[in-house]
Structure 1
Amino acid sequence: MKYRLLGRTGVWVSEISLGTMTFGGKEHPVFRPIGGLGQDEVDRVVGTALDAGINFIDTADVYADGESEELLGRAIGNRRRDVVLGTKLIAPVGPGPNDQGLSRMHVMRSVEDSLRRLGTDYIDLYQIHNWDHVTPIEETLSALDDAVRQGKVRYIGSSNLAAWQITQALGVSALHDQAKFVANQVHYSLVSRDAERDLVPMAQDTGLSLTVWSPLAGGFLTGKFDRGGVTTDQGSRRSQNGYDFVQFDEEKGFRIVDVLRSVAARHEVSPARVALAWLLAQPAVTSVIAGARKLEQLTDNIAASELTLTAQDLAELDEVSRLPVAYPNWIQQGFAPTRIPAANAA
């Protein structure tokens, strides 16, 4: 396993991290198709991950209504010092009007509830799971800073925020000398490269880490799906009724999978492993979150850390998956060469 720095913290995290959305929820209408793993299965998944060198684990209070945190905490047990543990908040965790969001009230409650469920006295990375359109960011950041100063949280981060929202938050934190975001968790894959428009350049400029969720697009990039909806894995989360969470152009997606299979055949590995290795070769990416229902899936995902794609591999994958250049990028790119005197141009 290889390790990369978490932002500018000096903390090293594994470039493959473990996602826990598959933990718990066996009777839950939303989370049952995603995983529904029980304690024995969770123990095996977590043990396999830690033994392979994964030290970064991601969860959220909303996963299986808190059961994911509980199962994870028990699975970590006395190996807590081996883990950089991240969890998230914002989504509803109860029926009340204040059982969600990023108000000071909900932040302070959520910290305590996650600590209890995880069976720990500190959270390494506490992340807001989305943008709260009601609560001022100043209130949220003040509450998060208090949790850091109390020693209940080591670092804070975000997930699913726009670049302008993150930079606004960083400015507020700097103005008030508060703890600031060190990482941002984003949706990013060969079929969903939107993060490259603003979030990747923002991360490079500010020194934030990017951690990646759904790197296989809900299983689509495993190569187990064909045009017409035929799949060789009926148990996959994407094949389950009602679960098609990530959005992308499916026809373009199949063209990407065709190239992915070709690259995978050259290396004699799975398409999934290539898809993860591609992400690890992209700027600003610190860790790719791998979630698994089966140990063989996890083992294959972990092996992506050892796969180095060639320049040819990367060029072919980039060509088939590249985004059209959006405004204002296209006009800025067109203007840039005129700023370099011809004598200095390469």
Structure 2
Amino acid sequence: MLPWFPVHPLWRGAMSGHRLSRRSVLALLASLGACGAAGRPAWSQNASPMLARPIPHNPAETLPVVGVGTAANFSGDPGRAGLMAVIKALVAGGGSVIDTAPSYGEAESVIGDILTQTGLGRRVFIATKLEDYQPGRLAPEARAPLQRLRTAKLDLLQLHNVHDPGQRLAELNSLKDLGICRYTGITTTYRSAYGAVESILKREQPDFLEIDYAIDNRDVEARILPAARDAGTAVLVALPLGRGGLFRKVRGKPLPDFASEFDCKSWSQFFLKFLLGNPAVTAVIPGTDKAEHMIDNLAAGQGRLPDAAMRTRMVRYLETLG
């Protein structure tokens, strides 16, 4: 389990929005490298911790509430310096969850290389997926991600985009006994599969569910999240910043004054804190390939979170923006 890392002072000035100066980013990354070499952060005094939540099937283990997704953004950057900066920022900021999949281009291999080069492999929680899975073939299929990620064991292995309400998880769960993974779960980002997901949650009670959820995409609140709560299933939120429309809606608009009541300093934090204000959510995994965005996102896991009344106010405010 990743130990908590406090927040670098440079980050505090970065929390006002997504943009950092190039000079600030370079200074931050230089300090991250120095801290990695020292084995511990040099700014350990007077910093706010990242909020962490327990994994319901193993309450002794907690996960930091903000991680990173790697779909569509971890296959470029041939030199990988930018992507390495994202992972360093994640860890230095107290995060640990890295979500990936074989279908995300070269993401698994890129992550494996970065974790090997930085020595951060033992400080992250790696979640990946099985796709086009066939009965009797899960074990050999699962060994390919192990090789690409260059790890002896996965933290979480999920059946990707489930759609069959009769899906059984016994064979998937057997991979834990084989030492391939520590936790198992299911995913979908398709509303058409919500019925199947609900059935699987109620019958199989998986360790984890990864599902799409955002302030402008709240359908899971009615049945899926309650079913996950009843099953003791941890919830990773995919697409927590929406599918593109949220930032278009707020472009050029200031945050509402009430955002300060839950320590929010950017629109990204506004959207993420809305989700984290729901206790059914274990962690959010916004995708990014930019260190400054990673830093901004991590701040959503610090300070106060909106309560139910405030979350309603947030939705209503967003609706007034047209």
Aligned to 2:129: 88
Aligned to 2:285: 289
Measure the CA separation in 2 of the matches of 1:156 and 1:289. 17
Does residue 76 (structure 1) correspond to residue 115 (structure 2)? The answer is yes
Aligned to 1:9: 58
Q: Report the TM-score when normalising by structure 2.
A: 0.72
Change in CA separation of 1:213 and 1:147 when aligned onto 2, cut-off 3 Å: same
The residue correspondences of 1:307-346 to structure 2 (distance < 5 A) are 307-309=303-305, 313-319=310-316
Aligned to 1:277: 273
The residue correspondences of 1:209-228 to structure 2 (distance < 5 A) are 209-221=234-246, 223=247, 225-226=248-249
| Letter matched to residue 130 of structure 2 | L
Q: Conserved in 2, the CA contact under 8 Å of 1:59 and 1:68?
A: yes
SS of corresponding position for 1:181:
coil
| Letter matched to residue 147 of structure 2 | R
Measure the CA separation in 2 of the matches of 1:60 and 1:102. 13
Q: Conserved in 2, the CA contact under 8 Å of 1:264 and 1:271?
A: no
Q: Conserved in 2, the CA contact under 8 Å of 1:22 and 1:37?
A: no
What per-residue deviation string (whole Å, max 9, x for no partner) do you get for residues 168-222 of structure 1? 4663x5xxxxxx511111111110000011111111211111110111113433x
Change in CA separation of 1:293 and 1:198 when aligned onto 2, cut-off 3 Å: same
Q: Conserved in 1, the CA contact under 8 Å of 2:209 and 2:234?
A: yes
* Aligned CA-pair RMSD: 2.8
Aligned to 2:23: none
Change in CA separation of 1:215 and 1:268 when aligned onto 2, cut-off 3 Å: closer
Considering only CA atoms, is the larger Rg found in Structure 1 or Structure 2?
Answer: 1
Which runs of no fewer than 5 residues in structure 2 stay unpaired?
Answer: 1-49
Aligned to 1:20: 70
Aligned to 2:12: none
| Letter matched to residue 86 of structure 1 | A
Which runs of no fewer than 5 residues in structure 1 stay unpaired?
Answer: 27-35, 91-100, 174-179, 233-257, 323-346
Higher relative contact order (CA 8 A, sep 6+): 2
The residue correspondences of 1:1-346 to structure 2 (distance < 5 A) are 1-10=50-59, 11-26=61-76, 38-64=79-105, 67-77=106-116, 78-90=119-131, 101-133=132-164, 137-138=167-168, 141-160=169-188, 162=194, 164-168=196-200, 171=203, 173=204, 181-221=206-246, 223=247, 225-226=248-249, 261=256, 263-264=258-259, 269-309=265-305, 313-319=310-316
SS of corresponding position for 1:75:
helix
Measure the CA separation in 2 of the matches of 1:302 and 1:24. 18
Q: Report the TM-score when normalising by structure 1.
A: 0.67
Query: Residue 283 of structure 1: CA displacement?
Result: 3.0
Q: Conserved in 2, the CA contact under 8 Å of 1:22 and 1:293?
A: no
